[in-house]
């Protein structure tokens, strides 16, 4: 995970947040005869990210996440890319 210095909050922040996450699943090749099913339940993958971002640095509790957009896709490497944004509009 790469973070820019101005994107890091050193103490957990209150308020509502939204999370966008892409799970990159390693697959060397994918032939027409192979299953297109990506491994791992997406809800469990999302939970692992929520458990990681709460606590010491980002947010106090994963209950602060009000919007989640998630995707699994084949990749040449395993990995996760996520964006965490604070919501500033009044409806949250």
Tokens of 20: 């966008």
Q: Using one digit for the tens of pLDDT, what is the confidence trace for 28-68? A: 765 544 555 666 789 999 999 999 888 877 889 999 999 99
Q: In this structure, which long-range contacts are made by residues 36-43, counting pairs with CB atoms below 8 Å and at least 24 apart in sequence?
A: 38/72, 38/73, 38/74, 40/72, 42/70, 42/72
Q: Which residues of 40-77 are buried (b: 16+ CB within 10 A; e: fewer)?
A: eeeeebbeebbeebbeeebbeebebbeebeeebeeeee
56/69: higher pLDDT: 69
Predicted local distance difference test score (pLDDT) of residue 1: 45
Predicted local distance difference test score (pLDDT) of residue 7: 56
Domain ranges within the chain, ordered by starting residue: 13-86
Q: What's the whole-model pTM score?
A: 0.72
Predicted local distance difference test score (pLDDT) of residue 30: 57
Predicted local distance difference test score (pLDDT) of residue 28: 73
Separation of CA 78 from chain center: 14
């Amino acid at each position: 995970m790469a973070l820019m210095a101005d994107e890091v909050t050193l103490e957990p922040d209150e308020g509502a947040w939204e999370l966008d996450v892409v799970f990159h699943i390693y697959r060397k090749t994918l032939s027409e005869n192979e299953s297109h099913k990506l491994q791992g339940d997406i809800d469990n993958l999302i939970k692992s990210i929520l458990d990681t971002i709460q606590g010491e640095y980002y947010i106090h509790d994963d209950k602060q996440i009000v919007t989640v957009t998630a995707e699994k896709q084949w990749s040449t490497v395993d990995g996760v890319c996520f964006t965490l944004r604070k919501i500033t509009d009044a409806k949250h």
